[in-house]
């Protein structure tokens, strides 16, 4: 994995995330059911991310994130903020498989739109092939989207998978 944020910056990111959740709580109490077409648009954006990711298309990946986006991984200290750190993290992810040799099969996806913010969660089976070796695992993904300039972009992405000792 790539370098993680420094401790002070990590605290700022986490404080901002908590603040964002706190600000959203009143809105949650007043929400109406999501527009199914809007949720489908989020799924299309998530699919575009997966396609760019599998192709090792770093510019294609980064254009889907807001400038102040954050990606949080599974392990301690795995948090990357902004285009440079997210780009470095993805370059490291790309080393795990050959271009075009990552497959993601969604088992479950759901989402909701709340004005200019939205979320999507997915449980997926993933396979990565590097040379002749294929690795398979389950992956949970949570994504918070923010409408920026009229387009949905990823604001926060959290990835997690089952720890080997928990199986």
Q: Which residue has the higher pLDDT, 18 or 100?
A: 100
The answer to whether 126 and 150 are in contact (CB under 8 A) is no
Q: What is the pLDDT of residue 21?
A: 39
**144, 155 in Cβ contact below 8 A?**
yes
The Cα–Cα gap between 40 and 74 comes to: 26
Q: How much is the average pLDDT of 121-148? A: 94
Coil, strand, or helix at residue 36? Answer: helix
| pLDDT for position 163 | 57
- d(CA 102, CA 105) in angstroms, rounded, equals 10
43-47, 85-89, 159-163, range with greatest mean pLDDT: 85-89
140 forms beta bridges with 123, 160
Mean per-residue pLDDT of the chain? 82
Q: Where are the domains of the chain?
A: 7-166
The two structure tokens encoding residue 139:
């992956």
Per-residue confidence (pLDDT) for residue 106, from 0 to 100: 87
User: Residues 11-65: pLDDT tens digits?
Assistant: 444 434 434 433 343 433 344 456 788 888 888 999 999 999 999 999 999 999 9
Does 156 have pLDDT greater than 80? Answer: yes
CATH number of this structure's domain 7-166? 3.10.450.50
* Spatial CA neighbour of 107 closest among 77, 78, 141: 141
* pLDDT tens-digit map of 59-79: 999 999 999 999 999 888 899
Residue 164: the pLDDT is 56
């Amino acid at each position: 994995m790539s370098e993680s944020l420094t401790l002070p910056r990590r605290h700022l990111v986490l404080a901002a995330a908590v603040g964002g959740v706190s600000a959203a709580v009143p809105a949650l109490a007043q929400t109406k059911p999501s527009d199914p077409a809007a949720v489908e648009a989020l799924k299309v954006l998530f699919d575009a991310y997966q396609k760019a990711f599998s192709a090792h298309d770093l510019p294609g990946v980064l254009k889907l994130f807001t400038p102040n986006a954050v990606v949080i991984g599974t392990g301690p200290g795995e948090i990357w903020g902004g285009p440079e750190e997210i780009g470095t993290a993805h370059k490291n992810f790309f080393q795990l498989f050959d271009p075009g040799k990552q497959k993601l099969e969604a088992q479950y996806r759901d989402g909701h739109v709340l004005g200019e913010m939205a979320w999507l969660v997915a449980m997926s089976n993933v396979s990565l092939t590097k040379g002749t070796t294929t690795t398979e695992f389950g992956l949970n993904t949570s994504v918070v989207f923010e409408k920026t300039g009229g387009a949905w972009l990823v604001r926060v992405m959290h990835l997690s998978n089952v720890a080997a000792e928990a199986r």
